Chains A and B, each alone.
Chain A
Amino acid sequence: MKSIYYIFPVKLREGLLKCRIHMDCLEEIRVRVGQPLIFWYGGKEWYYDAHQMRLSEQLEDGYIMMEEDLTDMVMFLSRYSVYAFEEEMHNGFVTLEGGHRVGIAGQVRMERGKVADIRYISFLNIRVAKQKQGCARNLLPYLIHGKQIYNTLIVSAPGIGKTTYLRDCIRMLSDGTSYLNGLRIGLVDERSEIAACHLGVPQNDVGQRTDVLDRCSKSEGMRILLRAMSPQVIAVDELGAEEDYQAVEQTLNCGSRILGTLHAADIQELKEKKLVQKWLAHHTFERYVVLHKAESGSRNFKIYDDNLELLC
């Protein structure tokens, strides 16, 4: 929590510390110029009452964020080094120590169709990192094949938790379990979502045998890892681009295994994806794990084989 408090203006920090906010219940903090500071806490919206130094449900108690507050916050979250975080800011987020992610919005300056700069940063979304260690414990036995794993694709709609499942699989495969020795994992973390590296150091537990290539494109990252780190498994999030196909083929030709994720709400949507059709034709992936969110909020999974036949 320290790394989150420290990005707030000095005048607010003491009060926020006094609030005794439990990190387990805190989901995100929304900061907008001229608007009240909002905490998503325990599934509800709360306003920060700077006078009473507490969270309040009353809008009129809410502390209104000033322009200079945001200026200070940008300075703190970049560790006084906006120049060093230029690239992250162009991508719209900065990862803090602890894996927490700060989304950034403001006035964008475009240059040749790409984001050249974000000026007047007026909106921040601080998303509190939560690792759900052990969530993929039941899934892992279905992915193991001898001393290796099946080439596996974890599939779900956005927000269901495929990245969380992927991270947990990586951690367990890397550390090893009672039925599998630890594997050397090469992780291409294009958006810093899996390992959440801060200054090159993973903030999330991705296991003792995992090498992370942070902020690198998937296709290039897979090639680099193959050449440099000789991984037994290459893990990537959100496959789907045409160039990913080539990189996956190359990885498999080199004898490494692939553990990846892909956006698709269900098996039907999966079948319709052109890239998946190619993979299905070549039996590239041997296991497809489709995640669903139950009404209770818990996650269930179904496992399909390389012909998309339901296994369990």
Chain B
Amino acid sequence: MPRSTIRVVLIAILLIPPLNCFAADTATLVLAIKAVGREGRGNREANQAVVELSQQDVSALPAVLRGFRDANPLAANYLRGAVEAIADRTLKAGKPLPKESLEKLIRDVEQDPRGRRLAYELLVRVDNSAPDRIIPDLLLDPSPEFRRDAVARLIVSGEKLLKDKAEDDAKAAFKKALSGATDDDQVKTIAKQLKGLKEEIDLQKHFGFLTSWRVVGPFDNEGLKGFDITYPPEEKLDFAAKYEGQKGEVAWDKVATDHEYGIVNIAKQIAPHKGAAMYLTTEFHSSAARVVEFRLGTPNAWKIWVNGKLLFGRDEYHRGMAIDQYRVRGELKPGANTILLKLCQNEQKDDWAQRYEFQLRVADLSGLGLPSQPAQTTSQK
């Protein structure tokens, strides 16, 4: 919606008496908020709209919560601010929240996960039986927060069964919990319990780590200059080619990892190169075109291309490494997709600056690991 149109609509709203125009007001205000964009674009209109929306009657809540669909992350926060203001004012006035509408919205997986979660948080404020009634059904929900709650209940249940010596039932509870678990703390807890029950878990497979790669390098990154230099693998992948590298001729080789979290350790598995840039590539097979997240962890500078398109790059060294440290959204095409990673090491001599490693997985937008189709063989036994 053009900014000028939004302004006209907002001015019109201000001129219209507040009675009997409630539904249109809500929708228009939500729309004004959803037009907010990067670098403050649409801020003024959104600012005015959120102030107005926050004054709406409680009956507007379901419409505002449905408005989360397709809202960008900034707009979602504006909407959240309005919803909380309306709910707080309603509860302080001793009035009820629309419980039935909220629960209906929570159970509608076509609605935005953020709006559904917020509806749940409102419902729990006025209905303490809601968690028991709702959460067990949400183990595989698109919302990671709902899944986390459902997994947590199953972990508690498994631990109780274990205490009662019902090992088979406990194992079943933990395995069920794992099916929805994406947060590493929960996965670790479940894996530990299952290991105690003689059930081995393939974490590579669970998270969807990519474990087999082709690698070439090192190329020169002394003085951190190599990060911005376009070396031949960025232009064309030719596995028969040989290149002039940092210390002489280099050629493509293969590297795989059996690390349970899919960590490929260049410093240990290849060489502790310094002031270097390495390229790694692999294929990911998708059964359909879809938007996914490439989730990377590395303490090194990096760039990632998918099917020849640069998705993102970051020139930062040794500020830590964690699973899902970076989440880069990208598109997969049906069939084989080529992932190319450039990983750069600096020349720091400190003990803590010697790590040259990464882990990469492909996940859906909620964090559930996606296997390559046909599944990439994991190296875990």
Q: Do the two shown chains form a genuine complex with each other?
A: no
